[in-house]
Amino acid sequence: MSSRTSALVLKLALSLLVCFVALAPRTARAERLRDMCDVLGARDNQLVGYGVVTGLNGTGDDASAPFAAQSLRSLLRRLGVQVDNKQVRLRNVAAVVVTATIPPFYRSGSKLDITISSMGNARSLQGGVLLQTPLRGADRKTYAVGQGPLILGGMSAGGSGGSVTENHTTTARIPNGALVEREIPTQFVMGNKVTLVLRAPDFQNAQRVAEAVNQSLGRGAARAIDAGSIEVLSPASYRDRPVELVAKLNELEMTPVQSARIVVNERTGTIVAGGDVRLSPVAIAQGGITISIKETSEVSQPGPLSGGKTEVTKKTDVEVAEKTPAPALTYLKGAASLADVAQALSTFGVTPRELASILQALKAAGALSAEVVVQ
C-alpha cells in the first residue's frame, strides 16, 4: 500500500470516528456490576497435562523426538502388551501438552473444553485422537481427565512435489473433552462479608460501586477498601442466602469513569482513542528523511597471465533524500472533546505509523491529556 493510499484510508477512518463520536450521547452509559466486578474467591483455575495423540497419517513425531514412543510403550505395558523398544518406530503418534481452565463451582462430572498442542516435531495433528490424559493443578492433584477426537482450525495436504497448509495444524481443541473428577472448594463468603473485585482497578469506580451498593442495601452496607476491592456486609435478610445476595449485587448498575487512553498498535497500524481525551494548543512540524541503500555485484577480472583470480565484489550506493519542501509548523487549536481531537489530527493526512509518533510526541510535550499505550 502506497503512502498516499494509507493517508487516505487513515483520513477516512478518522472522519468516521468523528461522525460516531458526534452522534453518540453525551452521557455515559450505566453498566451492571457483573460486567465490571468479580467475587473474591470465585475464581478460575488452570490445569495442565501430558498426553499422546494417535491416529495420525504419518505426520506425528519421528525418532528424534522420543517422547511419544516412550509414552506409547508405557501405555502398552499397562495394557498387558510387551513390545521391543527397537520395533516402535511409528509416525502416527505425537506427544502433546493438554491445557484447560476449570471455572468455579464445577462439580464432578462437569465437562471442560481442552486445548492440545504438539511438543515434538509432529507436522500435523489432523485426524488424531487424544488418549486418556490426567489434568493436574498447581498442587499436582488430578482434577480432570481429557480424551477424544481433535478438532483443528487448519488443514494441510501435499505430496512429494509440494504441500499446502492453512492456519495452524499443530494445535487443536476438544469441546467438552474433559470430565471433572475432583471438585475445587470455593468459598466466596468470609463470615458475613462478600468482597467485589474490580477487573480494572480505579479509585473513583470503586467508590461509585460502593455508593451503588449502599443505595440498594442501605447505608453502611459497602465500603471501598482500595482501588480494586469493595467489601459488602451481608444484611440480616441475606445472612443465610449468599447466592441471592451476589445475584442482587450483579444486577446493580453504576456509571463508570472512563480513563482517557489512546492505544497504538504499530505492527498493524491501528489507533483507538477513548474517554475524555483533550488536546492543548500546539504547533507541529512532521517530516522525515528517506535513506535508500542499494547493493550491486561487480566482477573483478585480472589481466592475462597475471596469475590473479576472478573475484566478485559488492558495491553499495547510499542515497539520502529529505522531503521537499521542508515541513512547516502547523498550529492546532485546543480540542476539548474526542471528536475535536480526531478532527484536528485528520488534517495532517499522515500514515498510521507517523500518527503514532505524533501522538507520543504530543504526550511527551504535555499537550495531550491522555495515556498513550503502545502495543
Residue 6, sorted as left (phi over 0), alpha (psi -120 to 50) or beta, turns out to be alpha
Other beta carbons within 10 Å of 273 = 21
- pLDDT for 25 equals 41
Judged against a pLDDT cut of 80, whether residue 134 lies above it is answered with: yes
> Can you tell me the mean pLDDT for 59-76?
80
Does residue 120 or residue 88 have the better pLDDT?
A: 120
The set of residues, in sequence order, having a beta carbon less than 8 Å from that of 219 and lying 6+ positions away, is: none
Judged against a pLDDT cut of 60, whether residue 116 lies above it is answered with: yes
Domain ranges of the chain: 3-26+261-296+314-374, 46-180, 189-254
Give 279-324 as a DSSP string: E--EEE----EEEEEEEEEEEE-PPTTS----EEEEEEEEEEEE-S
At 131, is the secondary structure helix, strand, or coil? strand
> Can you tell me the mean pLDDT for 91-110?
93
Does residue 260 or residue 155 have the better pLDDT?
A: 260
Helices 338-345 and 352-364: crossing angle in degrees, nearest 10, is: 120
Q: How confident is the model at residue 335 (pLDDT cuts 50, 70, 90)?
A: low
Least confident range from 77-81, 95-99, 145-149, 225-229: namely: 77-81
Which CATH number describes the domain made up of 189-254? Answer: 3.30.70
- pLDDT for 102 equals 95
pLDDT tens for each residue of 5-41: 555 445 544 554 444 344 344 445 788 999 999 999 9
The set of residues, in sequence order, having a beta carbon less than 8 Å from that of 334 and lying 6+ positions away, is: 278, 279, 280, 281
What is the model's pTM? 0.68
pLDDT tens for each residue of 308-332: 677 777 776 666 565 655 555 566 6
Q: Which helix (H) or strand (E) holds 11?
A: helix 3-23
Phi, psi for 100 (deg, rounded to 5)? -160, 160
pLDDT tens for each residue of 31-44: 899 999 999 999 99
Q: How confident is the model at residue 100 (pLDDT cuts 50, 70, 90)?
A: very high
Q: How confident is the model at residue 261 (pLDDT cuts 50, 70, 90)?
A: confident
The set of residues, in sequence order, having a beta carbon less than 8 Å from that of 50 and lying 6+ positions away, is: 71, 95, 96, 97, 98, 133
